[in-house]
Amino acid sequence: MLSLSELLLKEGDNISSFEELKDIIQKTAIDTGELYFQVDIEPPAYSDRPSDWHDQLNLAFESAR
């Protein structure tokens, strides 16, 4: 299972926008073959983070499968 908290611990210093976060979620899902995604924490308040950020993160993960 891919969790947002683990992803941010590993890649958080390299992410500067919400769009980059979505890209990294997709890339990680493809590279690892994970079947499940857990949004266990709220992502940082990037300037481009939308109000529906939870749905968009899930969509980014699902689109990679």
**Residue 54 has what pLDDT?**
98
Rounded to two decimals, what is the model's pTM?
Answer: 0.94
Residue 62 predicted with pLDDT over 90: yes
Give CA torsion, residues 5, 6, 7, 13, to 10 deg. 80
Residue 65 predicted with pLDDT over 80: no
Chain segment 1-56, per-residue pLDDT in tens:
999 999 999 999 999 999 999 999 999 999 999 999 999 999 999 999 999 999 99
Burial class of residue 29, CB neighbours in 10 A (0-12, 13-18, 19+): buried
Angle between helix axes 4-11 and 18-32 (nearest 10 degrees) is 110
SS3 38: strand
